[in-house]
């Protein structure tokens, strides 16, 4: 395996000493990532095989921008990888990225998935869908609005309401319907819960198989990962128990978000960083997103994998991602205001 996970103590020592440690050597590139290591590993392995450049990854589930800001010019970060438009915007607004004008990247990534000032680039999309029990749910269509219908009382599972995947969806509801409507909708969502929000997207499928709930919110790519997980065969059973419903296919479309990348403000290995970013935007990488990570590629003409196609046709919501990001703070405040994470109250 070509990727090294940063030793936090070693990195901190190098920063404190003001010197470049082994992770800053020639022939390497350092990545600060919000993305889970197993999801980016196939891409990094392919990059190293093609270029000979080793990759070092520091996985952070929170505080990436704050860490880089504190490190300043001594930061070892070359490239930022993240999910969610808001985290890309957060990195830009936090002053830890820099503009990049690159003909190869601009050719491969449509303008609609690029920051106009070149400070972030979208790489793939994923849909926030409804997982539904094959045995207990006969519905073949659903809308996000309908998730607050009392018919689902005690039948809905979801992860933490403050998780970025859910906040993105809630922010899109605000953009479409306004804050007052979304507050009422969130109360309905809360009171339809079978239990307090808990776990990750995969565990929602597990809960459906176990009969704890009948529907759940989840991202599309997790279903592909579960279907092909030979190391954890029980996940194949979870995936087999559910079907995917793409909400709002008859009107505005299904909420989608992106994974993306940005060039760090002070990259010690800038040339290698740009090479990595060019690779991540390339057709080869887009194929890996599709075939191994089960996301939707953003490159025009690139096809989803056969497994992703088996989920059904997707009609993505055309709502600009910037509009979603603009409503995330309000969405987070509403989650707390209605007590979504406290579970059902009605």
pLDDT tens track for 137-147: 999 999 999 99
Q: What is the mean pLDDT of residues 159-184?
A: 96
pLDDT value at 103 more than 70: yes
Choose the CATH number for 125-255+309-342 among 3.60.40.10, 3.40.30.10, 3.40.190.10, 3.30.565.10: 3.40.190.10
pLDDT for position 22: 40
pLDDT for position 84: 87
pLDDT value at 12 more than 80: no
Q: What percent of the chain has pLDDT over 70?
A: 92
330 touches 174 (CB < 8 A): yes
Q: What percent of the chain has pLDDT over 90?
A: 82
- Nearest-angstrom CA–CA distance, 120 and 106: 11
Residue 321 banded pLDDT, cuts 50, 70, 90: confident
Two tokens at 159?
């992860």
218-244 pLDDT, tens digit per residue, is 999 999 999 999 999 999 999 999 999
Sequence ranges of the domains in the chain: 3-123+258-301, 125-255+309-342
Residue 114 DSSP code: B
Residue 54 or 39, more confident: 54
**Local structure of 302: helix, strand or coil:** coil
Two tokens at 302?
């690139």
pLDDT value at 19 more than 50: no
The DSSP bridge partners found for residue 124 are: 259, 297
pLDDT for position 9: 35
Domains 3-123+258-301 and 125-255+309-342 share a fold: yes
- Nearest-angstrom CA–CA distance, 225 and 33: 19
Rg over CA atoms, the chain: 20
- Nearest-angstrom CA–CA distance, 128 and 118: 26
Q: 3-123+258-301 is classed in which CATH architecture?
A: 3-Layer(aba) Sandwich (3.40)
Two tokens at 208?
């459906």
pLDDT value at 341 more than 80: yes
Residue 102: phi and psi, rounded to 5, are: -140, 120
286-299 pLDDT, tens digit per residue, is 999 999 889 999 99
Q: What is the mean pLDDT of residues 22-50?
A: 85
pLDDT for position 346: 64
- Nearest-angstrom CA–CA distance, 126 and 61: 19
Two tokens at 21?
């440690």
pLDDT value at 17 more than 50: no
How many CA within 13 A on the CB side of residue 156? Answer: 29
């Amino acid at each position: 395996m070509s990727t090294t996970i940063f030793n936090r103590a070693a990195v901190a020592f190098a920063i404190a000493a003001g010197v470049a440690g082994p992770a800053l050597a020639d022939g390497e590139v350092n990545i600060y990532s919000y993305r889970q290591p197993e999801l980016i590993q196939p891409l990094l392995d392919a990059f190293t095989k093609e270029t000979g450049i080793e990759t070092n990854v520091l996985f952070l589930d929170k505080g990436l921008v704050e860490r880089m800001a504190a490190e300043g010019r001594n930061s070892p970060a070359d490239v930022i990888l993240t999910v969610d438009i808001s985290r890309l915007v957060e990195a830009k607004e936090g002053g830890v990225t820099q503009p990049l004008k690159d003909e190869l990247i601009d050719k491969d990534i449509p303008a609609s998935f690029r920051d106009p000032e070149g400070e972030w680039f979208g790489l793939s999309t994923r849909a926030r869908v409804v997982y539904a029990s094959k045995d207990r749910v006969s519905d073949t269509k659903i809308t996000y609005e309908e998730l607050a219908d009392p018919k689902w009382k005690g039948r809905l599972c979801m992860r933490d309401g403050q998780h970025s995947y859910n906040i993105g969806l809630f922010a899109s509801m605000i953009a479409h319907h306004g804050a007052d409507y979304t507050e009422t909708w969130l109360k309905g969502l809360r009171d339809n819960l079978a239990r307090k929000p808990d776990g990750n997207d995969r565990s929602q499928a597990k809960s459906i198989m176990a009969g704890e709930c009948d529907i759940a919110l989840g991202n599309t790519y997790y279903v592909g990962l579960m279907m092909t997980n030979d190391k954890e065969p029980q996940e194949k059973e979870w995936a087999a128990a559910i079907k995917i419903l793409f909400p709002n296919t008859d009107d505005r479309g299904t909420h989608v978000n992106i994974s993306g990348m940005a060039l760090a403000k002070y990259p010690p290995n800038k040339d290698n960083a740009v090479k990595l970013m060019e690779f991540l935007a390339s057709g080869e990488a887009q194929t890996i997103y599709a075939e191994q990570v089960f996301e939707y590629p953003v490159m025009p003409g690139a096809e989803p994998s056969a497994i992703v196609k088996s989920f059904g046709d997707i009609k993505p919501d055309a709502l600009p991602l910037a509009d979603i990001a603009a409503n995330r703070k309000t969405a987070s405040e509403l989650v707390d205001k209605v007590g979504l994470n406290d579970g059902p109250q009605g």
